[in-house]
Structure 1
């Protein structure tokens, strides 16, 4: 704020102050610049308020849905580690005194218990390796291409990721077009903001098609990432010269759809995770008690 203040005091514009601070993206800088040049700065700032409020709400919604499963996952790993390293070895020592043949499930659980520290180290090593691979290669084209393809193929998760980035794209275009930014420039800035490979690839080609005289609808229709409903509204928006209005409607639709999808997933995941935890613990306990049941049956006979 001090840098922006000093820049403006020297007679420069607010957008130049933003650029001088090196704390704002080109997207934000250009939106403010367009607002100043078109004498619509107040309207642009109002749109930016809505934009960042929606982005913040979206992040909170996703965080609230993912926090519970992640917490339960950590608890589950700790619980399994405790049972495999403490509870199962205690039962295994008792079983050795029986001298009888153990059920297949019990033998498998005991084998896992005896080798669990080794398997756990391998698991942590593989997880750490994948984490560092993602961190080091996340900006590489090949990595972004294949990871985005993989994510989109995952049921439910792929659809949510798609909704998130389509919502971000339409909201960005609505803000820029409402500020009377040229369509090509709006797409260029949106390309920098929406860091999802399939959409960035599509935007690059759409810009080329528009320069050749095609409409935005014609350029977008060549890519499967854009749903038919979205294409239909954009086609109508271009025909009636209300493209920014249609982008705003699409943005609101995707925001509503995301809230609905994340709420449904949150309600489904809670009992599903409890069933998974119960299943894991149940299998271990059944494996440990089966030899005792067999022994009691032999004694009664």
Structure 2
């Protein structure tokens, strides 16, 4: 997504872009989602902010975005927004009427227009989605290589159970060798894969295909999110990612002079992580009962002591925006550190686990061979 302006504006837009290979790796896959995902929103708000800051009005900014799209769908999307603006709708009404945008974006833009801070709001929304996409990439980078190793190792184990173990089984059966318990267990696993392997594969493929359908079900999302939280280290990492998003959103809203209760209500609608949504519902109820924000946070385990202590300081000193900005920075640093450590730890752990599986298979096959050699001898 690009546009033609003066040299200073072009440098400001291009300064955040990387080489073509990096952009390709960071492209958001939208086969099963909206075409206007988080990566597109990052570009949209960043470039709208730059254009408005350069003195171009909102209609002109949308025209520039529309004219510089390579894809017809995006060009039509921005064109329809421009037409709605010309017809008399405000920018926040345009955002509200399109399903691609969230209520969080709608209220943020509405506040920006009402207070005359639309430039700042669009810049902050661009930063919000930049950081959100960066956190997503950190998670993907941390998991991609270990997942590749795990998948390859599982294929090796399945190959051994499906092809190698049956060969040994035939030898043992022909020579009527008494099999130890571990060998019988491995042979049973081999027979299961031989008889029901295709069924298991079809079930896994069906789950992958129906994932989008299941993800719309509240019960599925709740069970999945709470299960993820229980996974050692990974659960803490995921929680930190969402707390980072939460603190950044609250910082943006409080900077726009939004009351804390309204901020909590808006952020709750924006975040898709069920445990945090339910915790924010409890926080909202606590504030309505007259409790302070730090007291409301304290009643929910998902918020750590660091956040509760600093929020208490923020309420006493009336520095809510500053404190949430600092919290956001700390959580971002923590996310980066944990993503690197997660990648470092998972690789050797997977290798050890797979090595144990392969070792068990080999030992189970070689134990009867010793008995067979004594029989033949």
Classify the TM-score, shorter chain: 0.7 to 0.9
Matched with 2:290 is: 213
- Three-state SS of the structure 2 residue aligned to 1:115 is helix
- Three-state SS of the structure 1 residue aligned to 2:280 is helix
Matched with 1:99 is: 176
| Contact 1:5/1:17 (8 A) holds in 2 | no
Select the residue among 139, 142, 145 that pairs with 1:68.
145
Matched with 1:25 is: 102
| Contact 2:177/2:371 (8 A) holds in 1 | no
Q: Does 1:153 align with 2:230?
A: yes
RMSD: 2.6
In structure 1, distance between residues paired with 2:371 and 2:247: 64
Select the residue among 306, 311, 332 that pairs with 1:229.
306
Report the TM-score, using the length of structure 1 for normalisation: 0.88
* TM superposition shift of 1:283: 1.7
Q: Point out where structure 1 has 5 or more consecutive residues left out of the alignment.
A: none
* TM superposition shift of 1:17: 2.5
In structure 2, distance between residues paired with 1:217 and 1:207: 12
| Contact 1:138/1:144 (8 A) holds in 2 | yes
Select the residue among 100, 113, 126 that pairs with 1:49.
126
Q: Does 1:162 align with 2:162?
A: no
Q: Tell me: CA distance 1:198–1:85, structure 2 relative to 1, closer, same or farther (3 Å).
A: closer
- Three-state SS of the structure 2 residue aligned to 1:23 is coil
Describe how 1:251-262 pairs up with structure 2 within 5 A: 251-262=328-339
* TM superposition shift of 1:290: 2.5
Q: Tell me: CA distance 1:22–1:202, structure 2 relative to 1, closer, same or farther (3 Å).
A: closer
Matched with 1:201 is: 278
Matched with 2:269 is: 192
Select the residue among 271, 279, 282 that pairs with 2:359.
282
In structure 2, distance between residues paired with 1:276 and 1:213: 52
- Higher mean alpha-carbon deviation, 219-228 vs 107-116, is at 107-116
Matched with 1:175 is: 252
Q: Tell me: CA distance 1:205–1:101, structure 2 relative to 1, closer, same or farther (3 Å).
A: closer
In structure 2, distance between residues paired with 1:227 and 1:188: 20
* TM superposition shift of 1:105: 2.5
The structure with more helix, counted as a fraction of residues: 1
* TM superposition shift of 1:130: 6.9
Q: Does 1:37 align with 2:114?
A: yes
* TM superposition shift of 1:15: 1.8
* Higher RCO structure, 1 or 2 (CA under 8 Å, sep 6+): 1
Q: Deviations over 1:11-34 (max 9, x none)?
A: 432222323444211111211111
Q: Does 1:14 align with 2:91?
A: yes
In structure 2, distance between residues paired with 1:32 and 1:140: 29
